[in-house]
Structure 1
Amino acid sequence: MLSQKVTGYWTAVFDYETTAEDELSLRKGDRVEVLSKDSLVSGDEGWWTGMIEDRVGIFPSNYVVLQIDFSELALEEMIGVGGFGKVYRAIWKGKEVAVKAARRDPDEDVSQTLESVHQEAKLFAMLRHPNIMGLLGVCLQEPNLCLVMEYARGGPLNWALAGKRIPPHTLVDWAVQIARAMLYLHCQAIVPVIHRDLKSSNSKTLDLMPGVFKSFDAKVVSSFGRPNKVVSLSQRSTQRHTWRARVSGSRRARVRNGRWA
């Protein structure tokens, strides 16, 4: 029996057309009440059960991002400024996070700023890699339109490199991690993305550097700015359906082979 305990409200960042009666169609911007993340309830990994108004169904989990109430965030200090807007260190539910507040042009309609947040969230929602900053959620309460991201406590990689003698094996380890992230972005992501601004100041370390250097997790992408998506106009429909097939393919295969087995 489905537990009606709500696990939170999430926002759709993609449209999703149903292909089966038990699925829930999504439109970008829809507010989805997630009822269960249990694959035993939905029937497959990567699928959740949710409700929009009075419609209940299952949907691919990577089509939505968590909607966070801005009042849950305690902003500590500004740690940077980028093309998207200002970046703050903040505390959310007891853990450090980075909050990217969308820049608002006074002459621009708020709907354009909201679309900018949706677009940035959409790009991050497509990426799942240990060396790419993860999107934790979005705030869509005007005027506080922002993204909530993983926080890289170690700061930019150039800080770690400046004036320090770092063992070659550590430098090689960092280089390999960055290369893996670039390989993923360019060749393995659902929609390939060209970074266009790779440099040490745009690469982060998750932890503060101790006195003795060793390997640390590096994060490459923390902002897109103006990325190049490798998708031509003629490819967009194909890419969209290819992604949908990747998300739902295992579920369809399982249905054919006995979904409840």
Structure 2
Amino acid sequence: MSVGQPLDAETAALVTELRQMKAELLADGNLLKELNRQNEEMDAQIEELTLSERNLRSDLAELQEIEHRHQGQLPIDTLRNLDHVLEYEADSQEKVRQNAVTLRLMAHELLLRTIMNERVAVRELASQEAQFERDCNDAMRARKLLADEVERMARQCEGGMLKKRDLYNELESMHREQEELDAEIRLIEAAIFRMKLSAQHIGAPVNIGYSGAVASVSAPAFSMSAAWDSEELIIDPLGGRDAPRC
């Protein structure tokens, strides 16, 4: 099939099918990129949830250990009878000692629970700070990629403008050369016309041949001759002539 020849139906259908396949491949590629991005986000979330689960399991194990060590909850009667402990109307010294031990254990357990809550809060704060750091890193990477892309596009536009300027300069130079060549061609045609008029003025049949080859812009090359029966008339481009020669 030659260039410019219209495509037949089968070839046109094949080209259309190839274009559709190319469009589908591009769409699938974009979908794959989006799925990969979502997978990365889900992996980060799963990692955060795994870390939170690990911290919660550790806290639960510590709570169970404390509960097992202290043998259940605190007796409620201790708080109710706390006023009696502070008063002087105690039943016995043993009763006072038991109440004091119970109160001391309750204070220790409250202190342990407070420490554990502080540890959980510190871990949660550390997790939030790590997430904030990851978000900041992602934002900085995205900003750097955007800046690199903007710089690349700026360089590409600058290169395109420079190339366009060079093409305009080259086109202008070609236009000037064309004008100079047109002017020289008109001068050559005028010289040929003057030589024809000179030959007709002296009554000689002239056969002037002009070779269109131009050696350079400033020095065109051409040759002319005139024949007159058995005599030869030599005519130069400036309008002069030599005497007839036999």
**Band the TM-score falls in, shorter-chain normalisation:** under 0.3
Structure ID, larger Rg: 2
- Give the TM-score, by structure 1 length: 0.19
User: Relative contact order (alpha carbons < 8 A, sep ≥ 6): 1 or 2 greater?
Assistant: 1
The structure where helix makes up a greater share of residues is: 2
Greater fraction strand: 1
